[in-house]
Chain A
Amino acid sequence: KQEVTQIPAALSVPEGENLVLNCSFTDSAIYNLQWFRQDPGKGLTSLLLIQSSQREQTSGRLNASLDKSSGRSTLYIAASQPGDSATYLCAVRSSEGYSTLTFGKGTMLLVSP
């Protein structure tokens, strides 16, 4: 059974800092991994999608890496801003079974001005 863990559970940083969010998964049989952002009480916004054959993806100030063999992914946020404050969720799409998403519990990020 796939399990996804995100560390840290919460993070508070001053504006301008570069930061790294971590995600690990137990089963490397995946099609891809997605990073999502969730604002309080809202739905999920997809940030980056990394295929199992890729090592990283970039979008603006965000960079996500994937090491499938070791079951790890990181989300790097450069020059953080107060508007980045949200919960960040990592999810893997399994290549076995139902091929659905398995989520971590998320990292709650607070960027203070």
Chain B
Amino acid sequence: ETGVTQSPTHLIKTRGQQVTLRCSSQSGHNTVSWYQQALGQGPQFIFQYYREEENGRGNFPPRFSGLQFPNYSSELNVNALELDDSALYLCASSSGDRRDYGYTFGSGTRLTVV
């Protein structure tokens, strides 16, 4: 069984640019969630996709957007990057049909905005 994989591992962008982060969910999982983790903080929920539809969103502005594909992989897009967007972005997958499942996380993408 494959785990959750994220790409790229590290990224440096300039303020105002746009970025796309990618995530492949664990085999058998149909739900993908994205989290932002600032230094010294717990992960904060950005949004979640279930069977290609967004079914939950945290307190993040619309310039954070996403997609889920038929194979349940996902993308996180951030437009008009700001310095405060510098963080570790984590992707997690689970089963939306089995709420007793836990979440499996990827290794994250470290985004630095300069």
Question: Which residues on A are within 8 Å of B, measured CB to CB?
Answer: 4, 31-32, 34, 36, 41-46, 49, 51, 89, 91, 93, 95, 97-106
Contact = CB atoms under 8 A, between A and B. Distances in A.
Interface of B: 6, 33, 35, 40-45, 48, 55-58, 88, 90, 92, 96, 99-100, 102-108, 110
Given A51-B100, A101-B33, A46 B105 contact: yes
Contacts of B55: 98
Contacts of A43: 6, 90, 105-108
A97 B56 contact: yes
Contacts of B104: 46
**Centre residue among B33, B44, B100 by max chain A CB count within 10 A:** B100
Nearest to A51: B100
15 contacts: A32-B100, A43-B105, A43-B107, A43-B108, A44-B90, A44-B92, A45-B105, A91-B43, A98-B56, A100-B48, A100-B58, A101-B33, A101-B43, A101-B45, A105-B40
Nearest to B6: A43
A41 B88 contact: yes
Contacts, number: 69
A97 B105 CA distance: 21
Nearest to A99: B99
Contact of B42 (A31, A45, A100, A106): A106
B107 A103 contact: no
Contacts of A42: 107-108
B99 A103 contact: no
Given A43-B106, A46-B104, A100-B48, A95 B42 contact: no
A36 B41 contact: no
A40 to B, nearest CB: 10
A76 B45 CA distance: 27
Contacts of A97: 56
Contacts of B6: 43
